[in-house]
Amino acid sequence: MTADAVTYTYTDSPLGRILVAQNSVGLVLISFQQTPEAESPQPDWHFVETLDGEATDQLCAYFNGQLHEFDLPLAPQGTAFQQAVWQALQSIAYGQTWSYAELAQQVGRPKAVRAVGAANGRNPLPIVIPCHRVIGSNGTLTGYRGGLPLKQALLSLERQHRPTLSSQLAISFA
């Protein structure tokens, strides 16, 4: 296998089966398989029962409410603008949400709300790069590649497992 070869596997989650793919640099794709926009492995990708690294373990811990911040090498492919948006998305704390306008402000393009929304929708690493945490400025759920029910489920999971202020203080002073 070449250094840039992509390996992939499937993992089960409470929200269905997920395709997880990585190359020698890091994760390149996470795709919910029961959505209309599900992506399939490319013909030159190699199936493995278990990926090297911790990607599937961290996803499992996330779904169990035990992981609030991922620590994985990432290798999403996109334009410089998309990369900037995806980097900014990683600043949204677990259980929190930003509006598309706030995200546009964060990337230094406050008038580019639609372009930011489009870049958000092209995120190849949902959950790990938390595009589900972006909502409409009026607080409504808008657009999600996996569908709004999936976005709602992810936000509900995070609200359910969000650390309380008292647990954060206990951690801070421990």
84 phi, psi to nearest 5 deg: -65, -40
Task: Give the length of the chain.
Answer: 174
Catalytic residue check, 60:
no
Complete DSSP assignment for 129-144: S-GGGEE-TTS-----
Q: How many beta carbons lie within 10 A of that of residue 21, not counting itself?
A: 24
Sign of CA dihedral 92, 97, 98, 99: positive
The enclosing H or E element of 8 equals: strand 7-13
146 phi, psi to nearest 5 deg: -85, 0
55 Rama sector, left if φ>0, alpha if ψ -120 to 50, beta otherwise: alpha
Active-site option among 119, 131, 155, 157: 131
Catalogue the active-site residues.
131
